[in-house]
Structure 1
Amino acid sequence: MTQTPVKKTYDVVIVGGAMLGSSVAWFLSDNPDFDGSVLVVERDPTYEFTSTSHTNSCMRQQFSREINVRISQFAADFVKNFRSYMGGDERVPNIPIQSYGYMYLADNAEFAATLHESQQLQAACGAGTKHMTRDEIAAAYPFYNLDDIIAGNHNLIDEGYFDGNTLFDWWKRSARERGVEYVTNEVVAMTKNATGTRVESVTLKSGEVIGCGTIVNASGPRAVLTSRMAGIEIPVEPRKRYTYIFEAEKPLDRDLPLTIDPSGVHMRTDGTYYLAGCPPGEDPAVDYNDFTQDHSLWENKVWPILANRIPQFEAIKLRNSWAGHYAYNTFDQNAIVGPHAEVSNFLFVNGFSGHGFQQSPAMGRGTAEWIAHGEYRTLDLTPFHFDRIVNGTRFVEKAVI
């Protein structure tokens, strides 16, 4: 059932209320220099098919670009000090980071050199990443089969996974308590001014025309459907990603880091079980409503790779699995944030390509700063602006999973 907004016009209209949209909404509500009205329009309040609901809630500093490292460092600090950031509200739970770390495994000299270069950058940023030889990896984690591995990177400090859905739930709850309005509805059209330089209003599925000062596209994999209403094309499409929860007949004697196998399959400890994931062999765009699983992927690819890398995983039992969507930026697999160059009040928070949960605190904060001040006051997010796509200048990040 659709809901009608209370007002006829809002200072900010956010299209999409999942993790990124709610992050922007909360950070606006927390910004002392912003006292405007905010409307969040969400088509499905259950969030059942959003990337948010299918996330693995991972956290890492292991990136090859400094700004991506800094973004994740803020996320780690935000999670560890969540109650403090939420104003000391005693209702807000403490959220630990399960710091099992990421373990990138290199099976060739070129990738090993890239890992070493990235480790030096991360260390310069204060991250705890260590570049490890095969023997060092074997000593720390003797369960790996390392016959084809020559080196790896690992970080046990503020890197692993966390309960991202608790962040999401509290951002929504706190934003509402502070006056942000959420409605179950859908933006179906936008009207620009005569010169085409601003979006003046949005039309809702229920028929209302709502004026807006700023429009924020937080539509996840559906981002291009939203941007097209303003006459803007963005290179974001839904790509299917698979997650598997399995039980081992012979559990490991220590925590399994989130291990990125050279094949592209990744695996980690998940409570008393283990989690694995991967892209499909062919990776086309899929329909927005296509969450059908390819069950052959587990039997033919994932399980054999797990058993090869960790021989104790030859005897495992699949307990659960699902398919979710990346909001995949086909241009360079990095986020698109900030304003459009011509439609100046149209802001992007799109194309995170699997990094949305861990980047959401910094991106929400930065977008709120842009709206409130017309500039970034903390991290400079201009490398992620849409201009790079217009100019054909890719933001190259070597550590994309």
Structure 2
Amino acid sequence: MTSKVVIVGGGVIGSAVAYFLRASDPSVQVTVIERDPTYARSSSALSAASIRQQFSTPLSVQMSLYGIAFLRSIGERLEVDGVQPSIDLHEGGYLFLATAAGVATLRENHALQTRLGADISLLDSQRLRERFAWMNTDDLAAGAFGESGEGWFDGYGLVQAFRKKAQALGARYVAADVVGLERDGRTVTHAVTSNGESHACDMLVNAAGAWSRTIAQMLGIDIPVHARRRSIFNVSSPARLSACPLVIDPSGVYFRPEGRTYICGTSPSADNDPDDLPLDEVDHALFDDVIWPTLAHRVPAFEALRVENCWSGYYEYNVLDQNAIIGCHPDIENCIFANGFSGHGLQQGPATGRGVSELILHGRYTTLDLSSLGWQRVLDNQPIVEKNVV
């Protein structure tokens, strides 16, 4: 019987696991070890914090459908002492844009998403012009728009809500680094922390995000998850775009409203995306050379932009297929990995927390089957192909 669970990492994944464990079985002792309780460098706090169902694989769609249901009811679910948390959820929708070359993929994805229950509309170029008159559609053939269930929210607020509720339910949080893991054969027995403590465990959960590879290496396991820096820019413009969703340009550049300003960004090219770049630096060249020209082309009113703020955070980037790795590695029988979300951790956090807690408590998934995200595909070098990687 699992009575002591140690979770490495107290971001959205680790705290979601802690919450679901304690909510499901208060007899389980849960210890969350978080190196930075301020979350100043946490991917959860530094991301663009959004949720969508516009994926091309069924499981990703289903995880986010559960995610939006959870976020909509977060006040009741994560209430502590009569105080209901708010994450300022805006269901403004995602708008994926496509040129003629991308229409077939957009249609195929749309068919899958709507079959699974997502509220997505497929718009031709004329309907795009009618609904988003501020957009240059001359080179566009179609777009897919989330009418509901997609949008953005306060990512830091979600992490804090999970953490506070987990603590209220009895989870213990320890502010320290994990500096070693003790094993007895194929079993992890203790997590040793930088404050000199040794935490006994029946089950270990690696939810260390961008630092998950270090934890895996302590067990002699090489996980293909790397810390990849992503820069986000907050810009102001005299433009006032009515009913502006989170727009994904065919180039991969995205933008969305943030109050009276806008948040934007894109991924760097594959040949300019090294590991572990410093978070106190921002890729201004990417903004000047790629993001701003793309924004000005797509929204003519964005010719006049000013960067008000900018920051960088890490993607815990799975270099195999940019999908999460969830489950046990065959070499270690009592360590569950929940890593490599590649920018989707916040929106997949609720489904992951629930699923990992089921694995721990029941030895299997009892709601949504996440087994296709397990280690076997990694060991077999069989990536899951997700077409809508942002």
* TM-score (normalizing by structure 2): 0.96
* SS of residue paired to 1:286: coil
1:167 paired to 2:144? no
Of residues 24, 30, 49, the one that matches 1:31 is 24
Distance apart, 1:378 and its partner CA: 0.8
Q: Which moved more, 1:115-124 or 1:10-19?
A: 10-19
Of residues 10, 16, 33, the one that matches 1:41 is 33
- Correspondence 1:1-400 to 2 at 5 A: 11-32=4-25, 35-86=27-78, 90-95=82-87, 97-109=89-101, 111-193=102-184, 196-252=185-241, 254-281=242-269, 282-287=271-276, 289-400=278-389
Q: Is the 8 A contact 1:203 1:209 kept in 2?
A: yes
In the alignment, structure 1 segments of 5+ residues that lack a partner are: 1-8
C-alpha separation in 2, matches of 1:128 and 1:183: 41
C-alpha separation in 2, matches of 1:250 and 1:272: 10
C-alpha separation in 2, matches of 1:221 and 1:135: 42
* SS of residue paired to 2:66: helix
Distance apart, 1:89 and its partner CA: 5.8
Q: Is the 8 A contact 1:244 1:322 kept in 2?
A: yes
Distance apart, 1:96 and its partner CA: 5.0
Q: Which amino acid aligns with 1:171?
A: F
Distance apart, 1:27 and its partner CA: 0.8
C-alpha separation in 2, matches of 1:96 and 1:61: 19
Q: Which moved more, 1:63-72 or 1:198-207?
A: 198-207
Q: 1:283 to 1:335 in 2, by over 3 A?
A: farther
Q: Is the 8 A contact 2:80 2:164 kept in 1?
A: no
* SS of residue paired to 1:39: strand
Q: Is the 8 A contact 1:97 1:158 kept in 2?
A: no
Q: Is the 8 A contact 2:326 2:374 kept in 1?
A: yes
Q: Which moved more, 1:137-146 or 1:95-104?
A: 95-104
Q: How many residues align?
A: 388
Q: Is the 8 A contact 1:10 1:210 kept in 2?
A: no
Query: Residue by residue, what CA displacement relative to the aligned partner does 1:116-143 show, whole Å, maximum 9, x if unpaired?
Result: 0110111111111111111110111011
How many percent of aligned residue pairs carry the same amino acid? 39
* SS of residue paired to 1:127: coil
Q: Which amino acid aligns with 1:27?
A: F
Q: CA RMSD in A?
A: 1.7
C-alpha separation in 1, matches of 2:312 and 2:32: 26
C-alpha separation in 2, matches of 1:83 and 1:359: 18
* SS of residue paired to 1:49: coil
Distance apart, 1:88 and its partner CA: 8.4
Per the alignment, residue 6 of structure 1 pairs with none
C-alpha separation in 1, matches of 2:299 and 2:122: 21
Query: Residue by residue, what CA displacement relative to the aligned partner does 1:147-188 show, whole Å, maximum 9, x if unpaired?
Result: 211111111211111223222112111111221111111111
* SS of residue paired to 1:215: strand
* SS of residue paired to 1:171: helix
Q: 1:89 to 1:381 in 2, by over 3 A?
A: farther
* TM-score (normalizing by structure 1): 0.93
* SS of residue paired to 1:189: strand
C-alpha separation in 2, matches of 1:334 and 1:14: 21
Q: Which moved more, 1:221-230 or 1:34-43?
A: 34-43
C-alpha separation in 1, matches of 2:6 and 2:358: 16
Per the alignment, residue 3 of structure 1 pairs with none
Distance apart, 1:217 and its partner CA: 0.4
Q: 1:288 to 1:42 in 2, by over 3 A?
A: farther
C-alpha separation in 2, matches of 1:284 and 1:399: 19
Q: 1:65 to 1:89 in 2, by over 3 A?
A: farther
* SS of residue paired to 2:211: helix
C-alpha separation in 1, matches of 2:9 and 2:163: 12
C-alpha separation in 2, matches of 1:323 and 1:164: 15
Q: 1:311 to 1:16 in 2, by over 3 A?
A: same
* SS of residue paired to 2:201: strand
Query: Residue by residue, what CA displacement relative to the aligned partner does 1:41-97 show, whole Å, maximum 9, x if unpaired?
Result: 111111111101211110101011111111101111111111232368630135453
Q: Is the 8 A contact 2:45 2:155 kept in 1?
A: no
Distance apart, 1:15 and its partner CA: 0.7
Query: Residue by residue, what CA displacement relative to the aligned partner does 1:236-279 show, whole Å, maximum 9, x if unpaired?
Result: 00111111111112322x12111111111101111111111112
Distance apart, 1:10 and its partner CA: 6.8
Q: Which moved more, 1:9-18 or 1:322-331?
A: 9-18
Distance apart, 1:294 and its partner CA: 2.2
Query: Residue by residue, what CA displacement relative to the aligned partner does 1:331-376 show, whole Å, maximum 9, x if unpaired?
Result: 0000011111220111111000000000000000100111111111
Q: Is the 8 A contact 1:97 1:159 kept in 2?
A: no
C-alpha separation in 1, matches of 2:91 and 2:311: 24
* SS of residue paired to 2:264: strand
Q: Which amino acid aligns with 1:364?
A: G
Distance apart, 1:228 and its partner CA: 0.7
